[in-house]
Each structure stands twice: as C-alpha cells, then as structure tokens.
Structure 1
Amino acid sequence: MDVRNALESQAATTWTVEMHTAGEPTRIIISGYPVLKGATLLEKRRYASERPEIDGIRKRFAIDPTRLLPTNKDTRVPTIQNHRLMLEPRGHAGMYGAILVPKTELTLSGEADIGVLFCHNEGYSTMCGHATIALGRFLVDTRDLEIFPHRESLRVETRDDQARTSVTVLRLHAPCGVVKVYVPTTPDGKSDATKPVRFHSVPSFASSPSSEHGHGLVVDIPPGSAWPKLLSRDSLRVNIDIAYGGAFYALVSTSELGFGTTGLRGSDTDFREIAEAARILRIVLNKDPKARESFVHPDEPDLGFLYGITIIDDRVAGAGTDGKKKQTWVCFFADEQIDRSPTGSCVSAHVPLAVDQGKLQMGEWCSYESFLSAQFPGNAFRGRAVQKTGKAYVVEIEGFAHYTGVSTFTCPQEDIDVIGEGFEVKLPIV
C-alpha cells in the first residue's frame, strides 16, 4: 500500500504489540520510543518524567462533553510520545503501556534479563502485575534479539507437578526491583496460553500496622468533600490500610465508604460516585502528614508515593462458593484510571496485609476478581505468600494474558496536528 509505506517511512514511527490481561490492555512498545538517558532504571524513569524535550508543563485538554468546550488544565504530563500512545486518538482512557529497556544496570551485572518502564495516562509506574504477566508471554515468544538481546539465555525448568510442565524463567527488572516471571512453555519453546503465567513479587509489606480497630489508618473526610453515600452514615471517619506491592496502595472497603448495601455491583450502585469517593480519598490521604508517612519506602525515595486506591467489595469478601478465599475489588490509579484487571501489584500488597491480619496463611491461595473479571469466569488472579523475611513477603501471583494485535503508529513530521498529541474526554463524576 502506497500510503502505508509512505507513513512507515517517516522518522517518527513506533511499533507495538498489543495484549490484554483480564481485560486490562498492555501496549508493549518494542521500537521507536525516545532514548531514555540514565545510569539506572530509576534514573531513566526520572529522565522520562522530567526532561523538557520529553516531558514538560504543557496545556492539556480535558474535554467536558456537557459543555462542548475544552477545559484547560495545566499539569505535569507524561512524555509527549507517551501521551500520543496512551491517550486518544491512538489510545484511550484505560490504556496501559510497557516500554522495553534492554540495557539496565541489573542486566549489565547479570541480575536481570531485561528492563521495563510501565506507563499510563499520568506518567510512569514503578510496578504493574497485569503487564508483567503479558510481558512474560511476549518475551518468551519473541526471538528478535534486537528487541530482547538475552532471549537465548533464558533458563527452562521442569515444574514438579503431574504434567511436568516446562517453565521458562525470566528476570524482569522493573523500577521497583527484579521480578521473577515463570512462563509455562510448549515443546517448541513458545508460551503456553492454556496455563497461567506466574511471577514472584519484590518484597511486599503492610505499611500501616493494624491498630485496635483492625485497620492501619483512620482519616476524616471534610464535610464539604464527602460524597452522598458517606454523608448518609453517622460518621465521616474512614478506616483504611496502606500496603506496598511494588507500589503503594490504599485499601478500603465499600462499607467504609458508605456503599455497604450496594457494593460494587448492586442494582443501584452508582459507579460514578464510587470513582468520586476514590478521587477524594486520594486527595485527603496525600494531604494528611500521618498518611504520607505510610508511603515512604525504606530503601528508595523514588518509590515513595501513593499509586492507587483499591475499593474492596466486602459483601463478597471471604470464602467463595468453593470454600476458598476470594476478594473482589476495583482499583483507581494514576489520573483516575480504572484497572480492568484485578491489579497484580495490589494483590502483592494485599496478601501481606491479609497474612499479618490472620486472614490468610503462608502458602494459602486467595482468588482476586476485578469488577470486570468477575463477569467472565477464568480471568481471576490468584495470590499467595511464599516467603517471609522480616516484615516483608514475597508473593506469588498468577493470571492469563492474551494477544490482541500489533500496531504501527506514526506522527507526521509537520507539526500541525495539535489534537493528535493526545487528549482525554472526561464526564463530570457527580
């Protein structure tokens, strides 16, 4: 095709592989992303977030369709290229990306096989479970040494199960540390789509120790900020937990937020009000000095921030119909982005919390559903604690990922397509 060839010959071309894990997309960027400078992966992440030519203070359009006019919002935004790939018209409100970084300080030292930076509508994350599961399959399947120079050095193990499953082991260097990924493999060396990918988290822990009320933190929501369901309660005080699984999460039940009778999936559940509750809770926590102490990472300042608000449906928490432990939740992260999957790094955060509270035993599996995966059997994540050192746990998480396509994105050299730089359409929440 003449138009296709002409477009692909332009300098600003990016190639991606598209996957999803329990409905949450992973756009794996394999070529065409700007070179990220830095001696360490965290320095590369910082460079991507702060360099004026890649990231800067720009006018961002958050379109309110009820007014049909752009609402200008000055904010620090992701790299221009990240904006193009995550937001419309090339992406969408729920897009998530993974930028492969073949050379990091840990690949050079032999401690990792490849690095990755995770990206979303706001910038760059430090860990992502659903994308790790997708990357496990892709990095085993690829044989392109330009994409993955260490592909041929991956180790293959035989799992001690009835099927004697072959598993390829991948050491993925994420910004939070090295994550070991175990990918079931077919005899021809490809990933086995019929078996779940597993990964072992970085050391994960409950950051806010439980007090006499069973939760780590108590926060007061200002009356002027409270949402309708919370105002219907006797108190505006909310009990939450903070835990770390490669990123920090605030975990709170639907009952604590005033949605005890409806949960996440009740017939009269107003999901917009739930989203507004998550947005307000994030603001309150980030302003609370005591809460901010719970977001401090013991080793790395760059990891010390609140990434997500996870709302647990306590109407269906506990044991499922098969008697096994189960949780259903929804996670709001970055710039009010909604995770379609059960949020793997939040599973890494929740399991240590549940073990510390006596709700899970070491080695005991718990099934995790999102508001979406609960509608489609077979898409849950499972998590269990497999190792403890001090107060931290290594958590094993498993789930399925699937290919959805490949994409080639171009950006015309003439700088006239302002809307093509990326935009988002946001409805008023309440």
Structure 2
Amino acid sequence: MNTQHTIQLMDTHAGGDVSRIVTGGIDHLPGNSVREQMEYLRDDADGLRRLLLEEPYGIPEMSVDLLVPPCDPEAVAGYIIMEVMGYPIYSGSNTLCTATAVLESGIVPKQEGIQRFKLEAPAGLVQVEARVHNGVVESVTCGGLPSYIDTYRETIQVPGIGPVTYSIAYSGGFYALVDAAELGFKLTLEEEAALALCAHKIVEAIKAERGFSHYTLGDVGPLPFLHFMGPEEKVADGYVRSRSTTYVHPGVICRSTTGTGTSARLALMHYEGRLHQGDKLETVSLRNTGFIGTFVDSHQEGAYQVVENTITGRSYVLAHSDIVINCDDQMVNCGELHHILTDRHHPPRAEIPSETT
C-alpha cells in the first residue's frame, strides 16, 4: 500500500475568504451529477474535507473546492464545495474562486474581454461572466441561487442577550438576518470575536425553537448561518452600500460578506418593496472588501417571492502547490481517503468552447 500521496492545489481568495481549489490527485468519483458526487464524498469519503480544513494542512476558516469533470454537457467543469460545517450546495465566494481557477488553469483559455461559460455546482448549472483585461481576471459575475424570505421580523428570547428580532432567508442555505445596530455593533474588525459569540447564541436559540424547510428541496439541515446587516448608504440611484458580516460556524466569521449572504439581503430588500430591476447592493466586510449583488428579477413560487440575482466580485490566486499526504503521520487519517486518492493527475477538462463577446 502506498503510504504517501500528492494532491495538487491552487489557493485563491475572494473578499478575504480563502478557497483551496483541488486541481489534481483525486480519482474520479461515482455519480451521474455533481450533486451525486458531492453526496458520495459526504457519505463515504469525508476524510478529504477534514484533511484539507483541519491541522496540519488547513484551518476551519478556509473552504475547499474540488474540481471534477462536469456531468452536464453545458458545463466546462464541475466543483464540490467543502466547508467546516459540511457540504453547501452553493457558495458565491467559492464560485468566484472556482471560476477564476478554471481560467487560470487553462480549462477555459483566457481571452480579452468578457467570457461566458457555465460551471456545474451541486445546486446545478451556474452561469459565469468573467472580465479579462491584459490577461488578468479583473472581475467575475456569477448567478446567485434563487432566494426568498421564509420568515419576516420575528422575535426570540436569546439567553445572555435578550429579545432579538430576525428574518430568515434562503439563498443556498438558510440565513438569519439581524440588524447589527439593534445588537450594539458597528461592524468593525475589533468586534469580530464578539460578533461570532453573539451570532452563535442567536443561531442556537433559533435552532432550539424551530427548523426550516425549502419549498422544493425539503429538509436541508438546521439553520447554519447568520448575517449581520449594517446601515444602508445610498451611493447612486439604484445603488446602496452596507457594511455586513456573516457567521458560519462557532468562532468563525467569514472574511468576506459572502455571496449567499448578499443574495439573502437582496431577498429581504425585495420583500420590503425596496428593489427595482437592475438595482445593486454592495456589501462591505469587516476587512473593507466587498461583493456587489444585483437584483435581476423575481417570480412567485407558491407563497414565496423568489429573487433572481447575480453576485460580482474578484478572486486572486495566492499559490500553486502540491501537498504531500503521509498516511503514516499520526496527525493524518487516511482511512476515508485511500479509495479516492491517486498519484495520477486527472484534469477536469471538457472540450467545450466558452462564449466570448
């Protein structure tokens, strides 16, 4: 048995959130869709997620995106998102990073101007528009998941905090949306630890009281996320800016505002009747990085007003590297890895030309 394996990585970040893109070293996974491949990893090979997010190789604040061959012929590549809380079916920042990695690795050759292509996430096809100037990927716009408000301005008693008013949005995961000022926060970097503690208390209180169900997906697990909303500042007609931050796990506040958090905000603004087609919301993080969400359209799904939106941001490449997995290292558990690791590089490429304008 080979006790040493190599995985190829491209480390990237969008808005400060590091996404570790796995470009090689993992064998082909079973499944007729990226969603089925994700479920295989989750149920039979979760060791890969833990290996790359826990010491000695990673930290919980990171994300991992495994590039896989697409199952849908319209897509140029598939990707499976892995985070400390599990396997989200979609993530804005991870999509921005994956799209950049697809261009930087040559899966889609970079061309000057605007390039359009599709990726296959566990949630399905995602339309991507990348702007390239002088060979540099200057921005990426990706479709956000259809988002809606499940609960509007309910109040819960939170131990150690008191009454908290919250709304619940779905935007790829369920988000509790709370007003930062009502809880005494200005959304500065110095408040990061206090924000994480406060969010954890609120999320645990809501989870203890109730669960949530998506109108088509059904049970997608307990409430994982909380988004703190700062005051809105008008930048121009149809364009507002707001400081924001997202809690994802005990002790973990995202470096970026998150794409799905921005989509959740758009759903709330639309629910309150404050959005028109083409309106933009720029969310600004504790580290002063930002994403721009654009309201595209809305439609009715049963009792829900569903918002179609896009997220725009920029991803940067941090490093290209190989990591060596020593299975005889006492800090490494290869038990759930041997059947998916390979020393052969399988680039997840598809000979599908990108649409370039």
Match of 1:399 among 296, 303, 313: 313
Counterpart-to-counterpart distance in 2, 1:348 and 1:183: 19
Which residue pairs with 1:308 in the alignment? 225
Give CA-to-partner distance per residue, 1:22-66, whole Å, 9 cap, x none.
211111001123543333333322222222xx2xxxxxxxxxxxx
Distance apart, 1:342 and its partner CA = 1.4
Work out whether residues 126 and 174 of structure 1, in 8 Å CA contact, stay in contact via their aligned partners in 2: yes
- Percent identity over paired residues: 22
Whether contact under 8 Å (2:15, 2:255) holds in the other structure is yes
Aligned to 2:188: 265
- What's the counterpart of residue 6 of structure 1? none
Tell me the C-alpha RMSD between the 2 structures: 2.6
Which residue number in structure 2 is paired with residue 171 of structure 1? 118
The aligned counterpart of 2:244 is: 329
- How far apart are the structure 1 equivalents of 2:103 and 2:120? 15
Q: Do structure 1's residue 138 and structure 2's residue 101 form an aligned pair?
A: yes
Q: Specify which structure has the higher proportion of strand.
A: 2
Larger Rg belongs to: 1
Residues 207-232 of structure 1 show CA distances to partners (whole Å, capped at 9, x for unaligned) of 22x3xxxx2x22222xxx31xxx3xx
Distance 1:420 1:384 in 2: 43
Residue 180 of structure 2 is aligned to residue 204 of structure 1:
no
Q: 1:419 pairs with 323, 331, 334, which one?
A: 331
Counterpart Cα distance in 1 of 2:122 and 2:250 = 20
Q: Which deviations, in whole Å up to 9, do the C-alpha atoms of 1:102-150 show, x marking residues without a partner? A: 133xx1xx3433221111223211211111112222212323xxxx4xx
Aligned twin of 1:19: 12
Query: Is it true that 1:119 corresponds to 2:68 in the alignment?
Result: no
Q: Which amino acid aligns with 1:141?
A: E
Q: How does 1:17-416 map to 2 (within 5 A)?
A: 17-33=10-26, 35-51=28-44, 54=45, 79-104=46-71, 107=72, 110-143=73-106, 148=107, 151=108, 166-186=113-133, 190=135, 192-193=136-137, 195-208=138-151, 210=152, 215=153, 217-221=154-158, 225-226=159-160, 230=161, 236-256=162-182, 258-259=183-184, 262-265=185-188, 270-289=191-210, 292=211, 295-301=212-218, 303-313=220-230, 317-320=231-234, 324-372=239-287, 374=288, 379-390=289-300, 391-414=305-328
Task: Write out per-residue CA displacement over residues 358-401 of structure 1, whole angstroms, 9 at most, x where no aligned residue.
Answer: 333321111111111x2xxxx31111111222221211211111
If the length of structure 2 is used for normalisation, what is the TM-score? 0.83
Tell me how far 1:321 sits from its aligned partner. 6.5
The one-letter code sitting in structure 2 at the alignment partner of 1:205 is Y
How much has 1:347 moved relative to structure 2? 0.9
Q: Offset at 1:21?
A: 0.8
Of structures 1 and 2, the one scoring higher in RCO (CA 8 A, sep 6+) is 2
Task: Assess, with a 3 A threshold, how the Cα gap between structure 1 residues 287 and 34 changes in structure 2: closer, same or farther.
Answer: farther
3-state DSSP class of the match of 1:196? strand
CA distance in 2, matches of 1:184, 1:352: 26
Residue by residue over 1:319-340, the C-alpha shift from the partner in whole angstroms, topping out at 9 and shown as x without a partner, is 1566841111211114543210
Residues 89 and 172 of structure 1, relative CA distance in 2, 3 Å threshold = same
Looking at structure 2, the residues matched to 286 and 265 of structure 1 have their Cα atoms a distance apart, in angstroms, of 27
Aligned length, in residue pairs: 328
CA distance in 1, matches of 2:74, 2:222: 26
| Residues 359 and 418 of structure 1, relative CA distance in 2, 3 Å threshold | farther
User: Compared with structure 1, are the counterparts of its residues 421 and 329 closer, same or farther at alpha carbon in structure 2 (3 Å cutoff)?
Assistant: farther
TM-score (norm 1): 0.70
Q: Give the Cα separation in 1 of the matches to 2:299 and 2:74.
A: 20
2:330, 2:253 → 1: CA distance?
26
Q: Which residue of 2 aligns with 1:57?
A: none
SS across alignment from 1:85: helix
Which one-letter code corresponds to 1:45 in the other structure? M
Specify whether residues 279 and 11 from structure 1 end up closer, same or farther in structure 2 by C-alpha distance, changes over 3 A only.
same
Secondary structure of 1:246's aligned partner = coil
Q: Partner letter of residue 281 of structure 2?
A: C
Q: Which residue identity is paired with 1:371?
A: L
- Report the AA paired with residue 291 of structure 2: F
* Structure-2 change in CA distance of 1:301 and 1:409 (3 Å): farther
Q: What displacement does 1:302 show?
A: 6.0
CA contact (8 A) 1:20 1:403 kept: yes
Once the two structures are superposed, residues 164-220 of structure 1 have per-residue CA deviations (whole angstroms, 9 ceiling, x without a partner) of x72111212222222211011347xx5x33x32111222221222x3xxxx2x2222
